[in-house]
Amino acid sequence: METISENKCFGGTQGVYSHTSAVCGCEMTYGLFLPEEVEFGPVPVLWYLSGLTCTHENAMVKAGAQAWAAEQGIALVFPDTSPRGDGVADDDAFDLGQGAGFYVNATEAPWAPHFQMWDYVTEELPALLFENFAIDEARQSITGHSMGGHGALTIAMNLPERFRSVSAFSPIANPTKSDWGRNQLTAYLGSDEGKWAANDASLLMREKGFPGPVLIDQGTEDQFLDLLKPEALADAIATRRQEAIVRMQKGYDHSYFFISTFMEDHVNFHAEALYAG
């Protein structure tokens, strides 16, 4: 593992690190904020999964999460959104290929050799972090935006024993019924739609739900509302009677201005779960 940078930040440290990923078959980069409490022992961690076209850097720089995480004594992890490099498959479209990993394990050519983002985020990167930093494996929560909101919800519902809480900003909520999902799931997983269900938050909510608290924020002026389909997730939450807060935020769009406005709420929401019990 290589240290790219480490900067003092709200009493803690904002680091950027790279490592050779066996899962993705390339160099991967991630951001990690550690609060000053890490000097005294392992701290709980909140995973932040970013959206389409983003890298580890977008949320790390724009979301303002470190201030609130420092206040709560919580570590933040900012993984990249896909494998990258000259030997990694790509596409001219912004919503497929590099920058658009969708947090799935691709099974189809040309994506399968590198696009194993599910295993990277749920297995390889956690193992690396717990081995090298004072992070409490027993206290984890997860959040994300757009494609990352999709990832946060699907990962949490498939690994409910791992995460104490889950939240999302404007998640891609029903990709099996949206053009912003069907194209990508076909490319990465093939045309058998039966293989897609484990990567659809609305379907998972109906089937499994989540044993902990859920928070969803969606802007009413989001330019991608028809692709995100928040109503499908809200209906699934209501049908299952899932413990959840679903908020339509009047006037807000899909941008980091929206995310940074409500980031304090999300960090505090997760802190309550991470420090409970």
Residues designated as active site: 146, 222, 254
Coil, strand, or helix at residue 78?
Answer: strand
Task: Name 263's Cβ contacts closer than 8 Å, sequence gap at least 6.
Answer: 63, 64, 65, 68
Q: Where are the beta strands (DSSP E) in 80-208?
A: 135-144, 163-169
Task: Name 29's Cβ contacts closer than 8 Å, sequence gap at least 6.
Answer: 4, 16, 17, 18, 55, 56, 80
| Residue 222 tokens, joined | 């989001």
